[in-house]
Amino acid sequence: MITLLEQALQGNIVPRPPVWIMRQAGRFLPKYRELQERYPFFTRIRTPELASQISRMPVDVLGVDAAIIFSDILVVPDALGCPVTMEAGAGPRLPHPIRTMHDVEQLVRLPAAESLGYVSDAIRLTRSELSDSVPVIGFAGAPWTILCYMVEGKGSKDWELAKRFLLEQPQAASRLLDLITDQTIDYLRMQHQAGASAVQVFDSWAAALSPSMYQTWMMPLWTRIVSSLADIPLIVYARGAHVGIDNIASLGSVAVGLDWSIEAAQARMLVPSHTLQGNLDPVMLFADHDTIRKTTIQLIHDLGVQRTIINLGHGILPTTPVDAARVFIDTVKNYT
């Protein structure tokens, strides 16, 4: 049976849009917090039973229309030979950042099935435990966002080193981006083969680049990703790149993920015939329940029922009340 999410991605006529929440698995649910105390981050990700358990939590607790596999975008640098650690409160650290061509040359790309097979195992297990009631969404970071972390070695406000790497060492940057792109294509295909019905690519730091640098450096990589994965439902989420959403849509048959900095109705005007996903401001879930209901219904009106996936415009905030998330989900599910 084809799920509501897959219908919306294919552009089939649906009675209501599907709904899920970015970062629904590993952030705000009390049961997740318990596992967070008991197991280190990468243990949670690399143990299929734990990853599957975490992925299924929002399906059980909130009744979302899709499970996203519990993992992180930074498993890719790790797989390429640039190790990643995660310290509670401090965020990700890459103790051997990539700063020169020599550093790029030390990286090794193995088949995803070899270096990231644990993600396949987690997806397969999640699919079978959900007994196909809702689909599983796979994901990866976009090449630019992954390069950001590999060059900086940690999070950053302005990604100065990453941007300078493009300008000062274009050959090394180009080689690194190609390596990440190849790995990402192989990795997303592997996730689809393991049972992910759709995959989302997160370009969380797209807005750090000017539109012209984004166009020159990143659009050719997006073209390669979209054409290599033409048979797989793909959601492209480039945060802060809202001025370029028609550009992203022109890549082909992709769904376009919206962040909350663009009016939903305006996005629908710019991108009339692709599936759009988004884009409630995550902080709206701190409003009273009536306001959440009204804003959510307005969002459905603005995006339209067809070719729409209702979501937040970025990850759910860790302190969000579970009840508020449930009101958001139920409003979409009860929409007629």
Contacts with ligand 1CP by CB under 6 A lie at 23-27, 36, 41, 68, 70-74, 86, 91-92, 139, 155, 202, 204, 239, 315
Shortest separation between residue 288's beta carbon and ligand 1CP, angstroms: 25
| Least Cβ distance, residue 92 to ligand 1CP (angstroms) | 5
Nearer CB in complex with ligand 1CP: 9/140: 140
Contact (CB, 8 A) for 147 and 206: no
For residue 141, what are the CA distances in angstroms to 28, 180, 188, 274, 327? 21, 10, 10, 21, 29
The long-range contacts involving 101-108, CB below 8 angstroms and separated by at least 24 positions, are 101/169, 101/171, 101/172, 101/175, 103/172, 104/172, 104/175, 104/176, 104/179, 106/81, 107/80, 107/81, 107/82, 107/176, 107/179, 108/80, 108/81
Please, what is the minimum distance in Å from the beta carbon of residue 57 to ligand 1CP? 9
Given the complex with ligand 1CP, which of 36 and 335 has the nearer CB atom? 36
Residue whose CB is less far from ligand 1CP, 217 or 237: 237
- Closer residue to ligand 1CP, CB minimum distance, 41 or 286: 41
Do β-strands 91-93 and 234-238 pair in parallel, antiparallel, or remain unpaired?
unpaired
DSSP 215: I
State how far the Cα of 235 lies from the Cα of 255, in Å rounded to an integer.
Answer: 5
- Shortest reach from residue 150's CB to ligand 1CP, in Å: 12
Distances (CA, A) of 75 to 238, 242, 297: 19, 27, 37
- Minimum distance from CB of 109 to ligand 1CP (Å)? 21
The two structure tokens encoding residue 21: 């929440």
Residues 276-288, buried b or exposed e (16+ Cβ, 10 A)?
bbbbbbbebbeee
d(CA 79, CA 192): 18
Question: Cα(first)–Cα(last) distance of the chain, in Å?
Answer: 22
Q: Which is nearer to ligand 1CP, 64 or 264 (CB)?
A: 64
| Cβ-based nearer residue to ligand 1CP, 24 or 120 | 24
Q: Tell the smallest beta-carbon distance from residue 26 to ligand 1CP (Å).
A: 3
DSSP summary character for residue 80:
T
Taking the least distance from each CB to ligand 1CP, the nearer of 207 and 327 is 207
Smallest separation, CB 318 to ligand 1CP (Å): 9
Side chain identity at residue 240, one-letter code: G
Nearer to ligand 1CP, 155 or 170 (CB): 155
**CA dist., res. 129 & res. 328, Å (int):** 25
